[in-house]
Each structure stands twice: as C-alpha cells, then as structure tokens.
Amino acid sequence: MSNTFWQCRNDQNETKSTIIKSVQQIIDMYHGCGFKIKHILGDLQFKCIQFHMDSQGINLNITVRDEHVQEIKRFIHIVKESVREIVNTLPFEILPHRLIVENLYNVMFWLNCFPHKEGIHPTLSPCTIVTH
C-alpha cells in the first residue's frame, strides 16, 4: 500500500464501454504525468476489456473467483473504516447517495495527501508523485 496512488470512480453502470472509458481516463492521467502503464490488476469485472488492454500493450492480470490480494483487501478495510467514522459524526438518519460518494472521494483524497512511512519518497505524497 505504501507505494500506491489509490483512486475510486463512481460509474453509473458496469458496461464494457463504461469500464473502458474509465480505465482509459486513468491511464491517460498517468501517461500525462510521464508514467508508462505496463500492468493492471483487476477482478472478473474487468475481464471484458482484456482485448482492449492487450491492444495497448498493457498486461491485464485478472484474479480468479475468491482470490484476494491482501494489500487491496486491507486498503478497502481502511477506506470503509474511515468512511464509517465520518458518517457516524453526521446528524442524519438516512444519507443521500451523493453524500456517501463525496465522503468516499474525501477519504481517498486525504489518504493520498500524505507521504507514507514506507513510501518511495520520504517527503512527497502519492498524489504529488503522480500528479506533480
């Protein structure tokens, strides 16, 4: 987790074209900052874009059903815990969907804002490294 810039997206559907568009936007952001994407890890949801990634020279590594990547599993736990902490401070019984989405973006922003203790740079955050 220490060398990773984490991102989340709120896509309205999970069609092949939407997944390709979302992944391509992220790839373009990295390319614009001088990074070359060689490998992408994904679950079965991304299997439909395998050919598209191969045509770009990107190795799409799909996990099999019930296979877990410990680093990602732990990070999801941290994000869920952070979102719950904020939600529990709000004075609402029922939260609008948009509030939940913005809360998640807020958590992701702050997790990327500070340098990690075991990161690749002692003073630069993952966000700064990726987006300059």
In the chain, where the domains are located: 16-131
CA gap 82, 84 in Å, rounded: 5
pLDDT value for 85? 92
Contact assessment for residue 3 and residue 119, using Cβ atoms and an 8 Å cutoff? yes
Residue 1 confidence class, pLDDT cut points 50, 70, 90:
very low
Q: Is 95 left (phi over 0), alpha (psi -120 to 50) or beta?
A: beta
Alpha-carbon gap, residue 66 to 28, rounded angstroms: 30
pLDDT at residue number 22: 85
pLDDT classification of 3: cutoffs 50, 70, 90: very low
- In this predicted structure, what is the pLDDT of residue 119? 74
Report the SS3 class of residue 60: strand
Say whether pLDDT at 81 is over 90: yes
Query: For the segment 102-123, what is each residue's pLDDT rounded down to a tens digit?
Result: 898 888 888 888 887 777 777 8
Q: How far apart are the first and last CA of the chain?
A: 20
Over residues 36-51, the pLDDT tens digits come to: 888 888 888 888 888 8
Q: Are 2 and 118 in contact (CB under 8 A)?
A: yes
**pTM, to two decimals:** 0.69
**2 has a pLDDT exceeding 50:** no
